[in-house]
Structure 1
Amino acid sequence: MATKLISSGSTFEKEIGYSRAVVADNWILVSGTTGFDYSKMTISDDLSEQAEQCFKNIEAALQQAGSSMKEVVRVTYVFPEAEDFEKCWPVMRKYLGDVRPSAMMLTAGLSDPRMKIEIQVTAYRSTGA
């Protein structure tokens, strides 16, 4: 199986030892992605802004992999606070409303108390490598 590692340039990737995404044949597995703006290593205090930045980070990784949000087949949302899920629906709908991938929401603590959301996606690149 041919694999390709995708990096966002985040310092977390090197410090922890993971890739933003891994392309395995036509599958693209995007790691749990938070609302950090990796170009500045900053994160907003606003939940909706974090959700928006998560999707921008995911979209950038998918583009590096030769894919797009249109090819997302599965999404997992993680929230420290369950009541924040519904507050993010407009942002989720903006990016995935037409795609309608399989989805799951979990409530769990995140590694940094500033993080209010983490999103992981799987995409299938139908056009090949």
Structure 2
Amino acid sequence: MPRRLISTGSPFEKTAGYSRAVIDGDFAFLAGTTGYDYATMTMPIDVTSQTRNCFKTIEATLKEAGFALADVVRATYYIVDVADADAVLAVCGERLSEIRPAATLLVVAALFKPDMKVEIEVTAKRRTA
């Protein structure tokens, strides 16, 4: 199966030289996803809404690629304020408590833009029957 690139159509993907996801065989590698709300083209102020938006984008990308959220085997969470950890992890628990991928939470100095409070990247492996 050839490598396939998934794009949101954002011009930034071409400018920065990345894809929303790369599908390679039974694996889906999703780029770091921030809490941007593509329906309203805005970034929510609160970290809980941003985290929920991350999962909306992740799930939509996985679906487009023929995967499901249940296929996620690894997740990395990046936050800029340790005080946001409980709120972010609460949403992660809502979405992943039955899936339980290997996961890492990192507190970083900053993300690409100052209004970004969380970024999530995942790897999925297609399940075989």
> What is the TM-score with the length of structure 1 in the denominator?
0.92
Cα RMSD (Å) of the superposition?
A: 1.6
What is the SS of the residue equivalent to 1:105?
strand
- The 4+ residue runs of structure 1 with deviation greater than 6 A are none
Supply the distance in 2 between the matched residues of 1:26 and 1:10 (Cα, whole angstroms): 25
Task: Please name the residue that 1:111 is paired with.
Answer: 112
Equivalent runs, 1:1-129 vs 2, <5 Å: 2-108=2-108, 109-127=110-128
- Contact 1:9/1:38, CA 8 A, preserved across alignment: no
Amino acid at match of 1:37: D
- Note the C-alpha offset of 1:60: 0.6
What is the SS of the residue equivalent to 2:78?
strand
- Contact 1:10/1:41, CA 8 A, preserved across alignment: no
Ranges in structure 1 where 5+ consecutive residues have no aligned partner: none
What is the SS of the residue equivalent to 1:15?
helix
> What is the TM-score with the length of structure 2 in the denominator?
0.92
- Note the C-alpha offset of 1:100: 0.2
Ranges in structure 2 where 5+ consecutive residues have no aligned partner: none
- Note the C-alpha offset of 1:10: 2.8
Supply the distance in 1 between the matched residues of 2:17 and 2:63 (Cα, whole angstroms): 22
Q: Percent identity?
A: 45
What is the SS of the residue equivalent to 2:31?
strand
